[in-house]
Structure 1
Amino acid sequence: MTACLPSYFTFQNLGPRDVIADFHGGRITSDARAFLLREVDTRFEFLDAFATCFTDHRDPNRIEHTLVALVKPRVFGLCLGYEDLNDHDRLRHDALLAVLIGVTDPLGHDRTRPADRGKPLAGKSTLNRLELTPVGADEDSRYHKIVAHIDRIADLLPDVFVRQHATLPRRIILDLDATDDPLHGRLLGPTRAVLSRVLRPLLLPPAEHLRRRLLAGRHPAAE
């Protein structure tokens, strides 16, 4: 019996356009699995909420890439294994990544500057302003003007976790493996692990912080 395999796959539309993946060549990507990330983000709107944890002090009249259009490709890039900001000088050409974040011109044909046409997304220099801005920056800072509010991010992550439950869970079990990074030299934050000095990063917010979120009345089941 011959197996009937689909010759193409359809995904959520990009405005009025159909989004179709096929195997006929043309624009080829090895990151098609990222469409699953788009479906998850569309359902839970996590990255839109995450973007509200930043304050953008840039001049509104000179902004081409909105704050959300910076946050989404950076987070999606990390999820796909592109950890270095330099990777985005190549990813800024990626029509698939542009579709994921909802850019209506995924080929970048309508960019304002002729030198940017064909590049629908922001490159490393613009993303640098998002990622490397110090906490105390303001509108008078020369380059780094997008400030992350760590307290808002700390509040958001437990809230997102809790809201995925239809009813408040009676028990939450967190089973974590230690991730020991060996340290060399006089670096900050070392602890002793048998025969070496290591750094054990904080993997979760404090349990008390999560407990307060469960009891704060912010969960629909608790209201």
Structure 2
Amino acid sequence: CNGSVRVELSGQRTTSDSGALLLREVLDNSGVIEALEDNLVDPRHPLRIRHSLASQLRTLVLQRAMGWIDLSDTDTLRRDPLWQLACSDARGTTPLAQDRPSQATLSRLLTCLGR
């Protein structure tokens, strides 16, 4: 159980994609991301990984589910606090300092998965 979500609008940084948090819960409860991660090989060097495979997969799935179908949309969303929270491996309500994966990072993942 993740508890309640409190949204405060300050006028500085707002989003219209709050449904991504609900979809994150659905993904977590379904185990889809973990199943994908368990069955895919991550060829990256462990010491050079900045974004986990699960975080990248979560980003791809949530973006498409929310209607952001082009990878070029990734750079629009990567600094959005809600998207950072929805796609991160971390749980909770603390704002995250790290940006989401870039368009180039997700493109490399899709190329790797396509092989």
Residue 131 of structure 1: aligned partner: 110
Shift of residue 24 of structure 1? 4.9
Shift of residue 94 of structure 1? 1.6
TM-score of the two chains, using structure 2 as the length reference: 0.81
Percent identity over paired residues: 32
Whether contact under 8 Å (1:93, 1:107) holds in the other structure is no
Name stretches of at least 5 consecutive residues in structure 2 with no aligned partner.
Answer: none
RMSD of the TM alignment (CA)?
A: 2.3
Letter in 1 for 2:42: D
Whether contact under 8 Å (1:99, 1:106) holds in the other structure is yes
Letter in 1 for 2:25: E
- Runs of 4+ that moved beyond 6 A: none
Aligned ranges for residues 1-223 of structure 1 at < 5 Å? 12=2, 19-104=5-90, 106-108=95-97, 111=98, 120-133=99-112, 134-135=114-115
Residue 138 of structure 1: aligned partner: none
Task: Give the match's secondary structure for 2:55.
Answer: helix
Name the one with the larger strand percent: 1
- May I ask how many residue pairs the two structures share in their alignment? 111
TM-score of the two chains, using structure 1 as the length reference: 0.45
Task: Give the match's secondary structure for 2:2.
Answer: strand
Tell me which of the two structures has the higher relative contact order, counting C-alpha pairs closer than 8 angstroms and 6 or more residues apart: 2
The Cα offsets for residues 4-49 of structure 1, whole Å up to 9 and x where unpaired, read as xxxxxxx935xxxx74114453421100122220221222222221
